[in-house]
Structure 1
Amino acid sequence: MNLSTLDRQRAVFDERSSSHRFVADLLKQADIVINGHRPWDIQLKAPGVIDSALSRGNLGLGESYMNGDWDAKSLDQFFYRLMRAQLHQRIRPTQLVYHSLRARLLNRQSAKRAWEVGEKHYDLGNEFYAAMLDKRMTYTCGYWKDVDSLDDAQEAKLDLICRKLGLQPGMRVLDIGCGWGSFMAYAAEHYGVECVGLTISREQAEFGQRLMRSGLPVEFRLRDYRDETEQFDRIVSIGMFEHVGHKNYRQYMEVASRCLKDDGLFLLHTIGKNLSATASDPWIDKYIFPNGELPTLGQVIEASESLFVVEDVHNFGADYDKTLMAWHANFDANWPNFRDRFDDTFYRMWRYYLLSCAGAFRAREIQLWQFVLSKRGVVGGYERVS
């Protein structure tokens, strides 16, 4: 008897366990069958997957996927069905209690810890992200209204932000968490503004030096947002608030208020969650975005109280599904160029990240909000842009 035969027999035994029967009945509510024949059905390839998922939640499920212990032909559909049926709300693994308490009691997004996500995630290499993202390297949700390509969706999003902010030539704009500078370059090119961007990624800052040498009036500062003191006509923050943490939301808003002129506008673009009681996903926290935390709508509003007037809130979270699927298509097509740099475990990790998140947005389990904030309220009212 060879090892693969033994493994299959062990998997069969695992399937007959009480844990297997419990999970099989649970998955039926999401129309998922263990070892079924449809693209979204989970295929068990090794024993222990079910027990790991039950005891450690998405951390156990994700790590067993990275190890090749299970698969689904259409991982995004698997997670869409899982989350749409809200099965994850019915299982509370004991290990998640520790993770939840840790998130509540500790300031995991302190100034010292803030640099961890830059080093672990954004510093994977500019070439890697250039192969996955659009031509402007925009690592946030695109706006797919009336467009059908990633490049067009990202330009539509950047233009939407510029119009919401009412940008005019000569304005100075602060971009908190500027990424590779896609917004700053677009705003400078099309609206004649000057931009200053803050990043905690050295790779992004080095990329920005090349952008600055191109002659555009943009400046990259390798700086934590808490250290910025200059005032600006407009402030934008696109996909950075997810790294701030609830213990720092108020301070973040105070910094934005300090740096915004009295008649200015602040656009905050952030992923958000529906339930305040849910902790950060432990798999995402360990492997993708260290110390990340999604806010609720109420937490954003509460943090801005007495500092800002909320002029507009726009939710286009369903567009993140399309964006993530486009990123995955690019990642998968370009993977052969990076196979020598990253191993197969990294490939499965990244695939799990992109497709599980696509499924979550498709299920409307998480959202994408754009807030337009003013310090004193726009006289006569803010005219909404879409």
Structure 2
Amino acid sequence: MVFDRLLAKALAAFVQRGSLEVTAETGEVHRAGDGTAPRVAVRLVGEGATRALVIDPELTLGELYMDGRLVIEEGTLMEFLQLLLQDSRAERSKLPIPTIAKLRSLAWRLAGRNDARLARANVAHHYDLSGRLYDLFLDRHRQYSCAYFEHEGQALDDAQRAKQRHIAAKLAIRPGDDVLEIGSGWGGLAMYLARYAGAERVRGITLSAEQLAASRRSAAEAGLSDRVAFEMEDYRATQGRFDRIVSVGMFEHVGPKDYGAYFEAAARLLAEDGVMLLHTIGRTGEPGYTNPWIRKYIFPGGHLPTLAEVMPAIERSGLMVTDIEVLRLHYAETLKAWRERFLARRDEALALYDERFCRMWEFYLALSEAAFRWEDVVVFQIQLAKRNDVLPITRDYIARNEEMLRRAEETRLQVAAE
């Protein structure tokens, strides 16, 4: 059949190393790779599975797995994704039927702006899921962004604390500073900045009702409600002037058409001697559309920017780039830890939702990890200011600030133990 031939052609193009065996629903077996490890065998189940996969693999691969129509018979899901991605660099020109990819590229270029109403709906789709779900796999402070692994084998909780420390060090907060966090999550970073970094006041804004309620509870329980405040607010509506601005894991939801509005708001809100740190997932390749399965099921409206997309908006805003760090593989290790934790408590997730949801979440965590390991996905930390004299001229201050923060953490632990 024609779709069997096209599937064989696609597998030969994408899988160069390892061993992959795919059994179509017709019973025909397709093999690809050089015969080395890892060895993976999958079976497609149900009429039309091969046709759907060939026509639109970027979307259908995840859907078939969610529906139980793509069955891993040998090896693991992670090894399967490794075989598909480690040699391909996601070259869409290799797809046997490239028309859908071309249409998606056109739709991405013509997409409209992500206004406040749409932004809130997109956030609710993912972040207003049950908090009990996130407790299954996140660290104790619910840091739902890339950890910072200081050494191989570091525990997730310690790596997430190191991330907070690294960000705070780059912000170089002074006693009495007012801080704005755009996209404050469950409040862990805001409370860290108040408790350890010397911020006088921290204002966290979010579009998630679930996260807002949890953040306010956490601040009250920590005795920080007088210094840390959380609000349901779009960044375009925020007023005031802040000495420091930080945004972690939120920029991916802004969308290219609104980058100008985002950085214009940041410039308006940042003090003349202020510092901003933007921590965002991004890509090192050419600009392009985000994986359609991720956009449909996980992060509607999401987009992973390249520096080429971001820099013009920064330059037009009047802000200046003072430092850029590229975190490579840190998110792959973070996602590995999340995936292992989720799978260890999968029965609890099944009690919250259903089997299709659990398979969707497995595929999301595995696909995301694979993208950071074998594609061009990284994390950018972009430091911004309005003047070029507000930070030291060498990067030594980051390590010094981290050490001071580490001592502050240890002191607090000692006091608590006493």
Q: TM-score, normalised by structure 2?
A: 0.84
Alignment-derived partner of residue 28 in structure 2: none
Residue 39 of structure 1: how far off its partner (Å): 5.1
Shift of 1:331: 1.1
The code of the aligned residue for 1:248 comes to: D
Classify the secondary structure of the residue corresponding to 1:361. helix
Give 1:32 deviation, angstroms.
4.0
Structure 1 partner of 2:80: 78
Report the alpha carbon displacement of residue 380 of structure 1 after superposing the two structures with TM. Answer: 7.3
Conserved 8 A contact 1:54-1:93: no
Structure 2 residue 336 is matched with structure 1 residue 330: no
Change in CA separation of 1:70 and 1:346 when aligned onto 2, cut-off 3 Å: same
Aligned to 1:29: 16
Deviation at 1:246, TM superposition (A): 0.4
Alignment check: 8 A CA contact 1:308 1:374 kept: yes
- Residue of structure 1 equivalent to 2:232: 222
Is this contact kept in 2: 1:27–1:33, CA < 8 A? Answer: no
The answer to whether the 8 A contact 2:287-2:306 is kept is no
Distance 1:173-1:122 versus aligned 2 partners, 3 A rule: same
2:177 to 171, 174, 179: 171
Q: Distance in 1 between matches of 2:389 and 2:109?
A: 36
* Runs of 4+ residues over 4 Å off in structure 1: 35-40
Q: Which amino acid aligns with 2:40?
A: D
> Which of residues 120, 126, 135 is equivalent to 1:115?
120
Q: Which moved more, 1:242-251 or 1:72-81?
A: 72-81
Asked if the contact 1:80–1:360 (Cα under 8 Å) also holds between the matched residues in 2, the reply is no
SS at match of 1:41: strand
Q: Percent identity over the alignment?
A: 36
Aligned residue for 1:55?
55
Distance 2:145 2:172 in 1: 21
Deviation at 1:96?
3.0
- The whole-number CA distance in structure 1 between the counterparts of 2:247 and 2:391 is 25
Moved more, 108-117 or 250-259: 108-117
- The partner residue of 1:243 within 228, 250, 253 is 253
1:134 aligns with 2:133: no
Aligned partner of 2:232: which letter? L
Alignment counterpart, residue 200 of structure 1, candidates 200, 204, 207: 207
Rounded to whole Å, the distance in 1 between the matches of 2:228 and 2:389 is 27
Give the root-mean-square deviation of aligned CA atoms: 2.1
Q: What CA distance in whole angstroms lies between the structure 1 residues aligned with 2:51 and 2:90?
A: 15
Aligned partners of 2:242 and 2:120: how far apart in 1? 24
Give the 5 Å matches for 1:1-386: 17-35=4-22, 41-47=40-46, 48-72=48-72, 73-86=75-88, 88-89=90-91, 90-91=94-95, 93-146=98-151, 148-193=154-199, 194-214=201-221, 215-216=223-224, 217-306=227-316, 307-378=318-389, 381-384=392-395, 385=398
State the one-letter code of the partner of 1:149. A
**Per-residue deviation, 1:378:** 2.5
Moved more, 348-357 or 303-312: 303-312
Moved more, 248-257 or 114-123: 114-123
The Cα offsets for residues 300-336 of structure 1, whole Å up to 9 and x where unpaired, read as: 2111004221111111131111100101111112221
**CA deviation profile, 1:100-156 (whole Å, cap 9, x unmatched):** 322221225222210122211001111111221000000000000136100000000
Greater mean deviation of Cα atoms: 272-281 or 125-134: 272-281
Deviation at 1:85, TM superposition (A): 1.1
Measured at CA, do residues 148 and 183 of structure 1 come closer, stay the same or move farther in structure 2, by a change above 3 Å? same
**Structure 1 residue 364, shift from structure 2 partner:** 4.3
Match of 1:9 in 2: none
In the alignment, is the contact (CA less than 8 A) between 1:173 and 1:232 conserved in 2? yes
Contact 2:273 2:390 in 1 (8 A): no
Q: 1:162-199 CA deviation, whole Å, 9 max, x = no partner?
A: 01111123211100011001111111111231211111
| d(CA) in 1 for partners of 2:284, 2:11 | 27
Deviation at residue 381 of structure 1 after TM alignment: 4.8
Provide the secondary structure at the position in 1 that maps to 2:288.
coil
In structure 2, do the counterparts of structure 1 residues 225 and 55 end up closer, same or farther at CA, with 3 Å as the change threshold? same
Number of equivalenced pairs: 373
Query: Could you say which residue in structure 2 is the equivalent of 1:7?
Result: none
Q: Is the 8 A contact 1:150 1:326 kept in 2?
A: yes
Q: Which of 62-71 and 201-210 deviates more?
A: 62-71
- Tell me, which stretches of 5 or more residues in structure 1 are unaligned? 1-12
Following TM superposition, by how much is the alpha carbon of 1:42 offset from its aligned partner in structure 2, in angstroms? Answer: 4.3
Q: 1:117 to 1:286 in 2, by over 3 A?
A: same
Change in 2 beyond 3 A, CA 1:382/1:179: farther
